[in-house]
């Protein structure tokens, strides 16, 4: 892959993208499909065991809270993996558009713009991955020094066998949870890194288009490619918004609930302050990245109109002016991503999510503290 190379390596590692070198011979493809099925079973069995614990075992609010915040994250990781697997052809189409035709950078200045955005995407994904995996590592290390010594699982789970009856069964179940947690976290990084990477590449294409439009006065022949590129930018944005809308919507909902329940857990469990704090940081970073880069796409698309007015219009032919006017009129409607069809992905939505989470947390606090209700 010429673009999103680091992101695609993560996708390959979590069973969501077949390496190009493995498409032939057929036995390698079969091996990778088997690996994908193994990853699916791994994260889904862990998620199912947590869900069944809530349904069949949990009988008090404390146990529910202890289970629910991690269950939400695992449900999202399962959802993201299914979304990535179902959209493999669409992901291939998007990357193909970006690598070929009018979207392909040609001049050294355009190549420099692409390289700058590629570097930004790789850096962001790496830092995000470090944060997520450090959170998983802190949970695993804390569990090894506490739960493992007491022969207790890291997370609550309902299982169809008695893992206390055998040391081998306990070790299998215990490390199954930790491995599933790690794989689930890598799936989060893969999906979030891909979507945010594509958002940044839309920004990159708008910047390359702006650079090309400023040369129209010297070379009007490139206008046709500029019009095609603008159409493709809109097509990429619409396709990305359509295919991953439900994934982003689900992430918004879960992030709100997780922040709320994690805040509640922090007030009740001082022994897990570091783990819960890092966990909440990961969930906030997830949704912040979506909101920030979707907001950047909107600002870039609006900036394109201003860049058009810097062109020497009076020196251009009438047909060139008409085509530029068409681009200007279309650019007045910014490229905007939304969640659940109605909630725009921007910084205001991120602030709204924090407010909603804190309001829900306050309600939970009042429900758990009878004295507050009496004062009211």
Tell me: the pLDDT tens digits for 149-198? Answer: 888 999 989 998 888 888 899 999 999 999 999 999 999 999 999 999 99
Tokens encoding 236: 């990429």
Tell me the pLDDT tens digit for each residue of 104-152: 998 999 999 999 999 999 999 999 999 999 999 999 998 998 888 888 9
Tokens encoding 62: 């404390």
Helix (H) or strand (E) holding 18: none
Q: Is the pLDDT of residue 341 over 80?
A: no
What's the confidence (pLDDT) of residue 81?
94
Mean pLDDT throughout 35-47?
Answer: 95
Burial (Cβ within 10 Å: 0-12, 13-18, ≥19) of residue 82: middle
296 confidence band (pLDDT: 50, 70, 90): very high
Distance from CA of residue 259 to its chain's centroid? 17
Max mean pLDDT among 49-53, 240-244, 247-251 falls in: 49-53
The residues spanned by each domain of the chain are 5-286+348-375
Distances (CA, A) of 41 to 34, 70, 137: 11, 18, 22
Residues linked to residue 338 through DSSP beta bridges, in sequence order: 344
Q: Is the pLDDT of residue 273 over 80?
A: no
C-alpha span between 139 and 233 (Å, rounded)? 42
Tell me the pLDDT tens digit for each residue of 300-329: 988 888 888 878 777 778 888 888 888 888
Looking up tokens 């069964």 gives: 169
pTM of the shown model = 0.90
What's the confidence (pLDDT) of residue 75?
93
Q: Are 259 and 297 in contact (CB under 8 A)?
A: no
Distance from CA of residue 179 to its chain's centroid? 21
What's the confidence (pLDDT) of residue 69?
80
368 confidence band (pLDDT: 50, 70, 90): low
| SS3 category, 24 | coil
322: Cα within 13 Å, side-chain hemisphere:
3
Residue length of the chain: 376
Tokens encoding 286: 């997830």
Q: Is the pLDDT of residue 376 over 70?
A: no
Tell me the pLDDT tens digit for each residue of 213-232: 888 878 878 888 888 999 99
What's the confidence (pLDDT) of residue 373?
47
Q: Is the pLDDT of residue 275 over 90?
A: no
Q: Are 213 and 311 in contact (CB under 8 A)?
A: yes
What's the confidence (pLDDT) of residue 35?
95
């Amino acid at each position: 892959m010429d673009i999103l190379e680091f992101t695609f390596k993560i996708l390959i590692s979590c069973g969501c993208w077949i390496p190009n070198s493995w498409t032939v011979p057929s036995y390698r493809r079969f091996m990778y499909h088997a690996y994908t099925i193994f990853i699916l079973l791994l994260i889904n069995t862990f998620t199912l065991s947590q869900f069944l614990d809530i349904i069949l075992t949990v009988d008090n609010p404390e146990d529910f809270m202890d289970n629910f915040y991690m269950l939400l994250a695992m449900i999202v990781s399962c959802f993201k993996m299914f979304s990535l697997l179902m959209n493999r052809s669409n992901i291939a189409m998007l990357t193909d558009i970006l690598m070929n035709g009018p979207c392909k950078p040609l001049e050294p200045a355009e190549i420099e713009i692409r390289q700058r955005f590629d570097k930004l995407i790789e850096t962001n994904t790496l830092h995000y991955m470090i944060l997520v995996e450090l959170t998983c590592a802190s949970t695993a290390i804390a569990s090894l020094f506490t739960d493992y010594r007491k022969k207790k699982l890291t997370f609550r789970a309902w299982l169809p066998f008695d893992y206390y009856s055998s040391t081998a069964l306990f070790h299998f179940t215990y490390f199954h949870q930790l491995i599933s947690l790690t794989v689930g976290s890598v799936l989060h990084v893969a999906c979030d890194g891909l979507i945010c990477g594509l958002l940044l590449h839309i920004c990159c294409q708008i910047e390359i288009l702006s650079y090309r439009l400023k040369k129209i006065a010297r070379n009007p022949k490139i206008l046709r490619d500029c019009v095609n590129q603008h159409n493709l930018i809109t097509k990429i944005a619409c396709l990305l918004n359509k295919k991953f809308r439900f994934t982003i919507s689900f992430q918004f909902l879960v992030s709100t609930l997780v922040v709320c329940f994690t805040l509640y857990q922090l007030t009740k469990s001082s022994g897990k302050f570091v783990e819960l704090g890092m966990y909440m940081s990961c969930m906030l970073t997830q949704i912040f990245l979506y909101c920030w880069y979707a907001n950047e796409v909107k600002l870039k698309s609006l900036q394109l109109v201003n860049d058009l007015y810097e062109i020497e219009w009076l020196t251009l032919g009438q047909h060139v002016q008409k085509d530029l006017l068409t681009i200007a009129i279309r650019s007045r409607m910014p490229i905007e991503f939304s969640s659940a069809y109605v909630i725009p992905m921007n910084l205001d939505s991120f602030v709204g999510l924090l407010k909603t989470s804190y309001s829900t947390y306050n309600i939970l606090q009042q429900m758990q503290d009878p004295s507050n209700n009496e004062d009211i």
